[in-house]
Amino acid sequence: MSANTIVLSEFPAASRPLPLRLHEWVTTVDHKRLGILYILFALVFLVLGGIEATIMRLQLIRPHNDLVSPQVFNRMFTMHGTTMIFFVIMPMVLGFANYLVPLMIGARDMAFPRLNAFSFWMTALGGLFLYFSFVGGNGLYGAGNAPDVGWFAYAPLTAKTFSVGHSTDFWTLSLFVSGVGSIGAGVNLIATILCMRCPGMTLGRMPLLAWMNLTMGSLIILAISPLSAAQLMLLVDRYLGGHFFDTQAGGSAVIWMHFFWVFGHPEVYILVLPAFAFASEIIPVFSRKAIFGYQAMVLATVAIGFISMSVWAHHMFTVGMSAGANTFFVLSTMAIAVPTGIKIFNWLATMWGGKIRFQTPMLFCSAFLFQFLIAGLTGIMQGAAPLDWQLTASYFVVAHFHYVIVGGILFATFGAFYYWFPKVSGKMYSEVLGKLHFWLFIIGFHLTFDFMHIPGILGMPRRIYTYEPGRGWDIWNLIVTIGVFFQAAGILAFAINLIRSYYRGKAAGNDPWDAWTLEWSTSSPPPVYNYAVIPSVRSRRPLWDLKHPEDPDWRYE
Amino acid sequence: MYCLIAAETAIFSIFVVAYLFYIGKSLTGPQPKDVLHAPIFYTVCLLSSSLTVHSAVRRMAAGKTAAFGRWWMLTILLGGTFLFGTAREWRHLIVDESLTIDTNLFGTTYYSLVGLHAFHVTMGLLALITVALFYFANRLRQEHAERLEVLSLYWHFVDAVWVVVFVVVYVIGV
């Protein structure tokens, strides 16, 4: 098998006809190609989800606007949320994990290459299902419609009575199918990290990225499975006449909330741990210092993994749980701030006294630190049940979780794009366009999401398609919408940068950042087999040891 | 396989939680205590199949292929008997007691939980039968024992889940 692929790669790619090259991509089981497929898939859906967000913001730009109907608005926020969580950030972080983990631990591929391909194509099928609902939501009869039940699809909105046609079924199937893919990817990641490390790479010498993806994999297994189970129940309700969430027959709408959020909150950590992972690799390299407090980072990561399984009902303070339950979930929510705080201080301590190089990846990671801190602080505000009763389902909540997902996760992911682009493509990106992307995006981000907190505090509920003038919300909504254009311009600069640099960029060389982890020791882009000779390592920074034989790390660890 | 089992455990936990939560919440009959009879014989069949699959894999690891075949076929037989038991119970419930998945909450949760387990038994049986086909085609050798071990792990898991389902449905639930 491997001998066969090595021979193929000796032909220059351009000399083979296009159908053959496409066929290779479709049938590939190589972790690097699958990683790239995941990431490209996520970028396509990023544009789709972005268009949906733009439509919503244009509708809300002024009071009594009638750009879209209320029905379309409902579909837009449902599709935007579902797309961004399940088909942008998830495949994005899984793509990076797929590409980087085997390289970083000195392996030639994932533990189960074919399962890996299966997982990707299941995710792709899920995305297809979701968007097919635009055509087939009414069963291909006349114009279709998309799901409009909100991304957490509370019962009884999903019941057959209130959601006729097939749009909710497409939503359910889409999440179930892509969930199967994600579970496969989680299993694969754990098996790879536990079984495929190169000689000398003990768990204590593993790059932090591998540690955080190990925790992410475990969370996927424990959190996505309940979601899949809940989707099965919903399918039973909708197709077989079951009563799981049917209050008319004694069923419970609240139990759907529990099942959804028992997935939904760990999901946030599934998404954010890889972002932490990117920051933990990029910040040391651009500060020219080893990461501060490696053990504390690992412990904090695993602690976050555990605590995140016990905080879900802080999404449900207004449902009417008992005082005891409310108190428990307030306290566990506060508790998760501790390991997260440890991480933030560790990153700061890594930068402290370092020779910081503010190239694009580092810019994005610095912004990530700052914004993620604010996101965490507004999170603690809402983690206190009394304040949550005031702020729940308002634009304050929307601003908070966009601060986490855009300001935290997406910024770190953009950093990762620029950091590893030279490795993946073999070309250097344009620093000018990269900085342009950063500044446009950060201005747009803060215009949109800083000012979104204010109408929330003033009482503007989420998911309304329009509002009355004169409530003090008008100007803030205008500013929020203006920010969208800056963000879109930033994304455009990003896209141009990727495409242009891929074709015209300067050759990057193996190690453009003078970095320390194993992936920079192989060529850019890496060969199919990754390493001609499996490396063996003696410390957490194997390339430092190679470059500085007079003062290697392993003397101190 | 351990990871897959962890994921499957999470799925089953959700269904078990739903079952426990909805005990006694049905608005109309039939109620579990009127219609359910604990399938002791079939439970013994399924649980003993854990022992037989274990013996089979041990024989294979020791290179005793003929003995492996006997134990393996016995496992398939026991698993098949269990599935037959579930089918008979469902037939009784549907035809004699007219309890279906949309009758009441008990029906919904009962058929989903037991059905989910029966689905896993079916998957396991299909895998066991596939191995049996390889065995009869003389393609199975001693070095495959490790892979069989993985499959038997799954089979143990299916049995262990049945213990939980049995306790929940036939002991706590009635």
Tens digit of pLDDT for each residue in B75-108?
Answer: 999 999 999 999 999 999 999 988 999 889 999 9
Measured between CA atoms, the residue of chain A closest to residue B4 is A187
Query: What is the pLDDT at residue A510?
Result: 92
B150 to chain A, any CB pair closer than 8 A? The answer is no
What is the ipTM score, two decimals? 0.91
Has residue A151 got a pLDDT over 60?
A: yes
- Chain A residues touching residue B7 (CB < 8 angstroms): 183, 186-187, 221-222, 224-225
In whole angstroms, what is the distance from residue A149 CA to residue A230 CA? 15
| Contact: A221, B14; criterion CB under 8 Å | no
Q: How far B38 CA lies from chain A's nearest CA (Å)?
A: 24
Nearest Cα residue to A222 out of B1, B10, B16: B10
| Contact: A244, B8; criterion CB under 8 Å | no
**Which tokens go with A42?**
């996520």
**Residue reference for tokens 């159908």:** A19
What band does A257 get if pLDDT is binned at 50, 70 and 90? very high
Measured between CA atoms, the residue of chain A closest to residue B25 is A250
Measured between CA atoms, the residue of chain A closest to residue B107 is A242
What band does A144 get if pLDDT is binned at 50, 70 and 90? low
Query: What is the pLDDT at residue A320?
Result: 87
Give the A:B interface size as CB pairs under 8 Å: 84
Nearest Cα residue to A183 out of A147, A139, A229: A229
Residues of chain B with pLDDT under 70: none
**Which tokens go with A444?**
């747009």
Task: Give alpha helix (H) positions in B92-167.
Answer: 105-136, 145-166
Residue type, A332: S
Q: How far A225 CA lies from chain B's nearest CA (Å)?
A: 5
Q: Classify each residue of A491-516 as buried b or exposed e, where b means 16 or more C-beta atoms within 10 Å of its C-beta.
A: bebbeebbeebeeebeebebbbbebb
In whole angstroms, what is the distance from residue B49 CA to residue B166 CA? 16
In chain A, pLDDT over 90 holds for what percent of residues?
85
- Chain A residues touching residue B13 (CB < 8 angstroms): 226
For chain A, which residues lie within 8 Å of any Cβ of chain B, measuring from their own Cβ?
183, 186-187, 190-191, 217-218, 221-226, 228-230, 232-233, 236-237, 240-244, 249-252, 255, 259, 262
| Contact: B104, A222; criterion CB under 8 Å | no
Top residue of A116, A119, A192, A221 to mutate, by most chain B CBs within 10 Å, is A221
- Chain B residues touching residue A226 (CB < 8 angstroms): 10-11, 13-14
In whole angstroms, what is the distance from residue B78 CA to residue B53 CA? 10
Cα–chain center distance at A489? 21
Has residue A4 got a pLDDT over 70?
A: no
B105 to chain A, any CB pair closer than 8 A? The answer is yes
Q: What is the pLDDT of residues A323-356, one digit of tens each?
A: 999 999 999 999 999 999 999 999 999 999 999 9
**Residue reference for tokens 């402290």:** A352
CB-based contact A378:A396 (threshold 8 Å)? yes
Query: What is the pLDDT at residue A7?
Result: 43
Has residue A3 got a pLDDT over 50?
A: no
Interface of B with A in 21-40 (CB under 8 A): 21-22, 25-27
Q: What is the pLDDT of residues A383-421, one digit of tens each?
A: 999 999 999 999 999 999 999 999 999 999 999 999 999
- Chain B residues touching residue A217 (CB < 8 angstroms): 3
Of A9-18, A197-206, A509-518, A523-532, least confident by mean pLDDT is A9-18
- Chain A residues touching residue B11 (CB < 8 angstroms): 225-226, 228-229
